[in-house]
Amino acid sequence: MEEKKFVTELTDINEDLSQWYTDVITKADLCDYGPVKGTMVIKPYGYEIWEHIKEYLDVEFKKVGSKNAYFPMLIPESFLKKEAEHVEGFAPEVAVVTYAGGQELAEKLIVRPTSETIIGEMYSKWINSYRDLPMIMNQWCNVVRWEKTTRPFLRTSEFLWQEGHTVQPSEEDAVKNTKQMLDIYVKMCKDLLAIPVLSGRKTEREKFAGAVDTYGIEAVLRDGKCLQSGTSHYLGQNFAKSAEIKFLDRDGELKYGYTTSWGVSTRLIGAVVMVHGDDRGIKLPPKVAPIQVVIVPIASHKEGVLENTEKLAERLKNAGVRVFVDDSNQTAGWKFNQWEMKGVPVRLELGPRDIENNSVVAVRRDTHEKIVLPLDNIENSINDLMDKIQQNMFDIAKEFVDHNTFDVETMEEMIDCVNNKKVAKAYHCGDEACETEIKNETGIQSRVIIEECDDEHKCIKCGKKAKHKAYFARQY
């Protein structure tokens, strides 16, 4: 007899993760499609995930001296053209305003795809001496990139993000800041999202337009593809020179500053869904879940059930737990399936027998395990349970990554590895043309560099001396 599926409306996650994702993000109430092609509306349930990410990062950024600010969405076209490599990298994605206020504009305006140029312009006005450095600011905002192929959260024409921009007095300070911010992203993914990431420097082909070096984090998804989930860029003096960011140093000389930028976006919500989801829907780590505990009253028509449910909810709320009571007229089975699909970490079932026994049934979303918990000291029991779920979700995701990354020595091995939903680790010469050939022929791209080479390893593609070892995979 065929096993009954819990949520029949979802595509089988093991057969087609991409379609499963498309199904679940709207059914789980995370978002909806906007009226303009390539845009999305983030619904409250999805937006609260972003709020928890913001809350975490805001604290971490301020620990390293960053202050929040806001810069205009519209950028004069001339600003973007000052940095030739930067404008070339973004040209295909730029949205341009040519008409406003009832007339043609004398100068076209760019809807920001990122803010290096406008922030650099303002920094050049604000920075005069070494005493003004380092200048570290972050803004929480939206950007517009006119993507050809879109998918909610993963790649949309407009998305929310944070972008930090710094000016440092020396190359050493700038490189230190670049790596420091990457470490914050790695820590956030582990502690908050329960996602182990691949992290490191990007290849020359994959780095940010105009950067000296780009560092990134990559989430490994259930189908073996990678999702770039955050970047930190060392920009050298490229943007400082184009924006004339100079400062009078201690030695009395006028010098250009060294700049960095770093950012993550609402793409992280897509990463959470595609790393942790299963055949029943999404699974949310407790620390980032909008609802950490849903309470389903059983036989709610019976005396005392609803009253005791509300008392339980109030106790948990007072203990800092995000709680929702589902006292709707739907059947208990429908509620169980619905909240499992929405990824709520803990479901509590409270009925007449539980009340009589001074207990409640807890069901873990991560393992589907049922546990009977005494109502005495329930606050501590639930918080302990959520800590266990958070850690278990990270451990499972880490084990998946560890068991699905393999060393390969030939192109045939790499293609076979990636086709079997794995991530390959391979040596490469570092030549952009060679890397482009790999992508054009196979669809496989480098993600981040694992280590630099100082011995006689050969490039997996061209056979020349390898410059580094890197992760290779297909990407979203």
**What CATH number did the domain enclosing 420 receive?**
3.30.110.30
What does the chain come to in residues? 476
Give the rounded distance of the alpha carbon of 388 from its chain centre: 23
Per-residue DSSP letter, 14: T
Q: Could you identify the residue written with the tokens 């011995």?
A: 455
Q: Which residues of the chain have pLDDT under 50?
A: 1-4
Asked if residue 377 and residue 228 are part of one domain, the reply reads: no
Asked if residue 162 and residue 24 are part of one domain, the reply reads: yes
Whole-angstrom distance, CA of residue 87 vs CA of residue 203: 20
User: For the chain, how are helix, strand and coil distributed in percent, rounded to 5?
Assistant: 35, 30, 35
Residue 4 has a pLDDT of: 46
Asked if residue 151 and residue 23 are part of one domain, the reply reads: yes
Whole-angstrom distance, CA of residue 70 vs CA of residue 400: 39
Whole-angstrom distance, CA of residue 218 vs CA of residue 195: 10
Asked if residue 204 and residue 93 are part of one domain, the reply reads: yes
Could you tell me if residue 182 is inside a domain? yes
Quickly count: other Cβ atoms within 10 Å of residue 396's Cβ. Answer: 16
Could you tell me if residue 396 is inside a domain? no
Whole-angstrom distance, CA of residue 292 vs CA of residue 283: 11
Residue 396 has a pLDDT of: 98
Could you tell me if residue 4 is inside a domain? no
Could you tell me if residue 3 is inside a domain? no
Task: Give the pair of three-digit tokens for residue 171.
Answer: 């190359």
Q: Which domain holds residue 135?
A: 17-276
Task: Give alpha helix (H) positions in 167-303.
Answer: 171-191, 238-243, 267-276
Beta strands in 317-416 (DSSP E): 323-325, 346-350, 359-364, 370-374, 405-407
In the chain, the amino acid numbered 199 is S
Which residues are registered as beta bridge partners of 363? 347, 370
Angle, CA of 275, 278 and 279, to the nearest 5°: 150
Could you tell me if residue 118 is inside a domain? yes
Domain-terminating residue out of 324, 355, 386: 386
In the chain, the amino acid numbered 31 is C
Q: Could you identify the residue written with the tokens 């302990």?
A: 384
Peptide bond just before 134 cis, omega within 30 deg: yes
Asked if residue 433 and residue 299 are part of one domain, the reply reads: no
Asked if residue 143 and residue 61 are part of one domain, the reply reads: yes
Name 1's Cβ contacts closer than 8 Å, sequence gap at least 6: none
Asked if residue 257 and residue 116 are part of one domain, the reply reads: yes
In the chain, the amino acid numbered 329 is N
What DSSP assignment string belongs to 45-70?
Answer: HHHHHHHHHHHHHHHHHHHTT-EE--
What radius of gyration do the chain's Cα atoms show? 25
In the chain, the amino acid numbered 126 is W
Strand 323-325 and strand 359-364: the pairing is unpaired
Asked if residue 298 and residue 267 are part of one domain, the reply reads: no
Could you tell me if residue 8 is inside a domain? no
Could you tell me if residue 454 is inside a domain? yes
Asked if residue 39 and residue 136 are part of one domain, the reply reads: yes
Asked if residue 104 and residue 37 are part of one domain, the reply reads: yes
Q: Looking at the 3D structure of the chain, how many domains does it have?
A: 3
Could you tell me if residue 350 is inside a domain? yes
Residue 209 has a pLDDT of: 86
Name the 3-class secondary structure at 106. strand
Per-residue DSSP letter, 80: H
Average pLDDT, the chain: 95
Query: What CATH number is attached to the domain comprising 326?
Result: 3.40.50.800
Asked if residue 415 and residue 380 are part of one domain, the reply reads: no
Asked if residue 313 and residue 448 are part of one domain, the reply reads: no
Domain-terminating residue out of 386, 415, 432: 386
Whole-angstrom distance, CA of residue 379 vs CA of residue 473: 44
Name the 3-class secondary structure at 128. coil
What are the C-alpha distances in Å from 88 to residues 84, 110, 142?
6, 14, 21
> Nearest CA to 364 among 288, 279, 273, 293?
293
What are the C-alpha distances in Å from 158 to residues 43, 161, 198, 291?
15, 10, 26, 27
Query: What CATH number is attached to the domain comprising 131?
Result: 3.30.930.10
Domain-terminating residue out of 386, 421, 442: 386
Beta strands in 304-444 (DSSP E): 323-325, 346-350, 359-364, 370-374, 405-407, 423-428
Beta strands in 299-433 (DSSP E): 323-325, 346-350, 359-364, 370-374, 405-407, 423-428
